Structure 1
C-alpha cells in the first residue's frame, strides 16, 4: 500500500495518521481516536488502486514492470488458465504474472480487461472484470486460431500482505468464452 504505514503487526495507518501519532509517545500513549478518522477508507482505496493498476497498467498497457511493485515475490496462485500446463501453488509472483500476460497476448493480441467493480474487506480485494479479445494465436498452443472475438466476465480474489498482492483465486466464465470463440458448440436441445 503506497499510502499506508504499518506501525505494529495489527495496526496499519495512512501516512497522515502515522505522522500525527509521532506526537504521542507511541506505543505508551495511544490517542483515543486516530487523528485521521478516514484511515480505513484510505487503506481500502489503496487496495482497490493496487488491483486496478494490475489490470490497467500490467495487462492493458502491457507495462509489466509494474508487477514488481504490485505483486509479492512469494505469490500463491490458485487459478490456472485453461489449456495451461501448470499446477496451483507458490510461484515467483512478478515473473509469473509477466508469463500470464505473454500467454494471453500470444493468443489474443488485443486482449483488454475492464475493471467493472472492486470491493475490499480487510486484507482481501475482489474485482469483477470484463475480458475481451480476438483469438489470433493458437489457444493454449494447441487449438488453431479462430479469428473470433470473446467477451466474458471474471471474478478475481486477492489476499494482500505487506502492501502487495500475495494470493489469487479466480472464477472465470471460460465456457462462454470458448463458445464465442467457436471452440465449443452450444449443447443441442434434448430430443423429445
Structure 2
C-alpha cells in the first residue's frame, strides 16, 4: 500500500519550499528569502525593460507594491506544479495609499485576481511569468470607469 499524499499532494517538497520562500519575499519583504530562493540570473518576463532581475530586482518589486498598497496581502487560492514549474492563482488585496504607476493614492481598497508561473532549478526560481486583472484594479481605484465593466455585463446588457 502506498503512503497517502501530503497536504500538497504529490508536489515535490523542494517546489513547496521555493514557493513558500517566494511568498515570504512579498509578504514580509524578506531579503534573506529573496537571496536564498531567487536565482542571480532570475528573469521576470513581465517586468519592463530596465527593471533589474535577480533576487534584489524581485525584492524591489515587492517593496514597490507594498509601498503603493498598505495592508497588502497575496492569498493563494490554487497551487499547481508539474516538472520544473509551478503556478499559483491568488487574490491580491490592499488599500491604495501610495503612488501606483503614477496614479496618486486614492485610499480605495482593492481585491484583484493574479496568476503567477515560475520555473525552478537548483532550489531557486529562475523565471517568472504573471498576469493580473489590471482593468479591475484600475476600476477599483477609480481610474478606469467604463459604462459596462466586463464583457459578460455587456452581453447581458445587449440581451435586454
> What TM-score, normalized by structure 2, do the two folds share?
0.80
CA contact (8 A) 2:35 2:55 kept: yes
Q: Superposed, which structure 2 residues align to 1:1-192 within 5 Å?
A: 44-55=12-23, 57-80=24-47, 86-87=48-49, 91-140=52-101, 142-188=102-148
Tell me which structure has the larger Cα radius of gyration.
Answer: 1
User: Structure 2 CA distance, aligned partners of 1:92 and 1:78?
Assistant: 10
Q: Secondary structure at the match of 1:183?
A: coil
- Tell me the residue number matched to 1:31: none
RMSD: 2.5
User: Structure 1 CA distance, aligned partners of 2:50 and 2:16?
Assistant: 24
The verdict on how the C-alpha distance between 1:88 and 1:175 changes in structure 2, with shifts beyond 3 A counting, is farther
CA contact (8 A) 2:79 2:89 kept: yes
User: Structure 2 CA distance, aligned partners of 1:45 and 1:187?
Assistant: 47
Q: CA deviation at 1:46?
A: 2.2
